[in-house]
Structure 1
Amino acid sequence: MYRSVYHVFYAIGKRQFSLEAAQIAKANPKIESPLTDLFGRHHKYLRISLTEKCNLRCQYCMPAEGVQLSEKSKLLTADEVVKIAELFVKEGVNKIRLTGGEPTVRKDLVDIIYNLKKLKGLEVVAMTTNGLVLTKQLIALQKAGLDILNISLDTLKADRYEFISRRKGWNRVMMGIDLALQLGYKPVKVNCVVMKGFNDDEILDFVELTKDRNVDIRFIEYMPFTGNKWEVDKLVSYKEMVNKIKEKWNDFTPLKNGPNDTSKAWKVPDYKGQVGFITSMSEHFCGTCNRLRITADGNLKVCLFGNTEVSLRDAIRNNCSEDDLLALISAAVKRKKKQHAGMMNISQMANRPMILIGG
């Protein structure tokens, strides 16, 4: 379904592809780095999906009928993950986030984190997880070097959790959040996808969770992906959420954000934690995007909502030189568009289901 751009260029010769990348750079002398696009955005943040598998079946992420998973032989090995990461770090990436599927289902996760932390110039290794097995794994992950932890949780009600995720486990996730706080992850970031008529009645409850816990609740606008039956009527916008919170806390205050932050930070004064909003639909942040993604089967996606992909896995397995790999990456990055197509257009575009992209 997802035809690799690499296959096209590999078929007509790697030199031609390298030449094209060089021509793009020559025409734009300010765009020298392979990780800088034609709009001057330098990408220092790489998200790597480690697996397509997940031990949940969340309704907004995976189609009810499931998805066709790649054969194990087509997924990146641990060595390939580290090799790709090393290449990007050499070019300026200083933060890597491990995603899935669910990254904790990979048995070599601890080794991957340990080897990533050896890379000179890499400052942060983060992970997004559903939190189901953190009470068993987090101590080992922290010892391996895991710096930042995001835990996905869309409800504070156990019965609703089972409805949303089609699995049990809410209590284990809450214990995982508490363990992360005990181990010194401050803040623990909690990702909550908000959907109208689904869990938007819990927005205030999530904010209240920041009173005594140093958590960063990150409300995420519902986004369209293949198979998740996205409807604009289910979208709860950033402004709607803020207005709802201000009805209870009129002193709810915006905080200063970094230049590449995806989350707009807010806080209830005197509360221990804070709140953030990821506004991909109502107020996109494409102009400051510094993120690239590697799927579990080794494809480079320069935009979450784009459907053009380049297979780094195939390049590596065909013994592509490092220079040609960089040319491949550079040409892909320099095709990155100024911004995504808008939520109504995105909902009509072919793309992978979220679980096959990486959260």
Structure 2
Amino acid sequence: MFELQDAFARKFQYLRLSVTDVCNFKCQYCLPDGYMPDGRKSFLTLDEIRRLVHGFAAMGTSKVRITGGEPSLRKDFTQIIETVAATPGIEKVAMTTNGYRMKKQVADWRQAGLTAINVSVDSLDPRMFHQITGQNRFHEVMDGIDAAFVAGFEQVKVNAVLMRGLNDGDLDRFLAWIKDNPIQLRFIELMQTGEMDELFQRHHVRGAVIKAILLQQGWQQKLKAHNDGPAEVFWHADYKGEIGLIMPYSKDFCASCNRLRVSSLGKLHLCLFGDYGVDLRDLLADDHHQADLQRRLREALVDKKATHFLHEGITGMTPHLASIGG
């Protein structure tokens, strides 16, 4: 039965579940000073994750994306994939990763039930990759993408955050890369968060610039599936790969919102740029609170706003993207 619907008739089939906010990279647009521990945090346990995903699935969720921080830093990450994949009603299990553990572990993740993978590669220039991410791991990440294909993934999605003066001139290099590789390259507009005002003003470039170039070169837009994410996806007859554009500042971006977020501490976030989280963890202690969990989810959706208000300069309380999974 489908029950996750808000006051604007948007249906939410897609859960983005953060399992940690720890990350070992120092990306300029997220954690430029590296991860700063904030006391002794207790992230959701495997049993709590099982109960949470079961509650969402019972209300119509069919896709779960496991995020972080860097989710593979959890020692039980493969077991998390198995737990989510085994939940009745869950058809797709995806993850977003910085890719540094893919080469050694992606085959295990695939066997555990992972069906889709997104890897962050902000530049194909190893030196620029190092500058943006704070890590000299470009070749490890690229080897991990190769390993994903060997493990049986038919397509890998690669995320690149557009940044003026850093990687905005890399389009031709990225296009050459995906010409013969089944990679969906996703350009993501830099988003303004509470701690990144100056960086945003200096480096923000609109995805519409890339879209205009693609259309001029004969790329065509694909139709979305019901549980796809926010990307506008384009294909070209001469390319094995695809281009995705995530443009949160575009008109009506939020009209097609189909995803909810739960943080690694068990808080429901109705929007990446919302002002508060709804605590769910007290209902995850045992298996007897499923009805209460579903009731709280229904009640929370009453407060979901029509838009994120980024275009008005309102960024909410999200300090950085790693805090609730980007």
- TM-score by length of structure 1 reads 0.85
Tell me by how many angstroms 1:278 deviates.
Answer: 0.6
Aligned counterpart for 1:236 among listed residues 195, 202, 205: 205
Correspondence 1:200-215 to 2 at 5 A: 200-215=168-183
Residues 1:179 and 2:131 aligned together: no
Residues 1:353 and 2:294 aligned together: no
Which of 195-204 and 280-289 deviates more? 280-289
Q: Is the Cα–Cα contact under 8 Å of residues 190 and 216 in structure 1 kept in the other structure?
A: yes
Q: Is the Cα–Cα contact under 8 Å of residues 210 and 273 in structure 1 kept in the other structure?
A: yes
Question: In the aligned structure 2, how far is the partner of 1:319 from the partner of 1:188?
Answer: 35
CA change 1:133–1:126 in 2 (3 A) is: same
Question: In the aligned structure 2, how far is the partner of 1:318 from the partner of 1:121?
Answer: 20
Residues 1:44 and 2:38 aligned together: no
Question: In the alignment, which residue of structure 2 is the partner of 1:289?
Answer: 257
Tell me by how many angstroms 1:137 deviates.
Answer: 0.6
The letter for the 2-side match of 1:54 is C
Aligned counterpart for 1:338 among listed residues 295, 306, 309: 306
Residues 1:279 and 2:247 aligned together: yes
The letter for the 1-side match of 2:20 is T
Q: Is the Cα–Cα contact under 8 Å of residues 203 and 245 in structure 1 kept in the other structure?
A: no
Question: In the alignment, which residue of structure 2 is the partner of 1:252?
Answer: 219
Question: In the aligned structure 1, how far is the partner of 2:39 from the partner of 2:158?
Answer: 29
Tell me by how many angstroms 1:268 deviates.
Answer: 3.1
Which of 113-122 and 56-65 deviates more? 56-65
Question: In the aligned structure 1, how far is the partner of 2:68 from the partner of 2:30?
Answer: 11
Tell me by how many angstroms 1:115 deviates.
Answer: 1.8
Match of 2:170, SS state, is: helix
| Unaligned residue ranges in structure 1 (runs of 5+) | 1-31
Q: Is the Cα–Cα contact under 8 Å of residues 43 and 289 in structure 1 kept in the other structure?
A: yes
Tell me by how many angstroms 1:209 deviates.
Answer: 1.3
Match of 2:196, SS state, is: coil
Question: In the aligned structure 2, how far is the partner of 1:219 from the partner of 1:201?
Answer: 12
Tell me by how many angstroms 1:142 deviates.
Answer: 0.7
Question: In the aligned structure 1, how far is the partner of 2:196 from the partner of 2:313?
Answer: 15
Question: In the aligned structure 2, how far is the partner of 1:355 from the partner of 1:287?
Answer: 24
Q: Is the Cα–Cα contact under 8 Å of residues 34 and 327 in structure 1 kept in the other structure?
A: no
| Unaligned residue ranges in structure 2 (runs of 5+) | none
Tell me by how many angstroms 1:243 deviates.
Answer: 3.0
User: What value does the CA root-mean-square deviation take over the aligned residues?
Assistant: 2.1
CA change 1:70–1:38 in 2 (3 A) is: farther
Residues 1:53 and 2:2 aligned together: no
Q: Per-residue CA shift, 1:3-51, capped at 9, x if unaligned?
A: xxxxxxxxxxxxxxxxxxxxxxxxxxxxx96511111112111010011
Match of 1:190, SS state, is: strand
Question: In the alignment, which residue of structure 2 is the partner of 1:28?
Answer: none
Question: In the alignment, which residue of structure 2 is the partner of 1:96?
Answer: 64
Question: In the alignment, which residue of structure 1 is the partner of 2:90?
Answer: 122
Question: In the aligned structure 1, how far is the partner of 2:36 from the partner of 2:105?
Answer: 27
The letter for the 2-side match of 1:353 is H
The letter for the 2-side match of 1:212 is D
The count of corresponding residues between Structure 1 and Structure 2 is 324
Aligned counterpart for 2:36 among listed residues 67, 77, 92: 67
The letter for the 1-side match of 2:169 is D
Q: Is the Cα–Cα contact under 8 Å of residues 53 and 100 in structure 1 kept in the other structure?
A: yes
Question: In the aligned structure 2, how far is the partner of 1:317 from the partner of 1:268?
Answer: 49
The letter for the 2-side match of 1:184 is G
Q: Is the Cα–Cα contact under 8 Å of residues 62 and 227 in structure 1 kept in the other structure?
A: no
Q: Is the Cα–Cα contact under 8 Å of residues 204 and 245 in structure 1 kept in the other structure?
A: no
Question: In the aligned structure 1, how far is the partner of 2:39 from the partner of 2:297?
Answer: 23
Q: Per-residue CA shift, 1:48-104, capped at 9, x if unaligned?
A: 00111111111101142643435233x111111111001111111110000000011
Percentage identity across paired residues of the two chains: 36
Tell me by how many angstroms 1:330 deviates.
Answer: 1.2
Tell me by how many angstroms 1:339 deviates.
Answer: 1.2
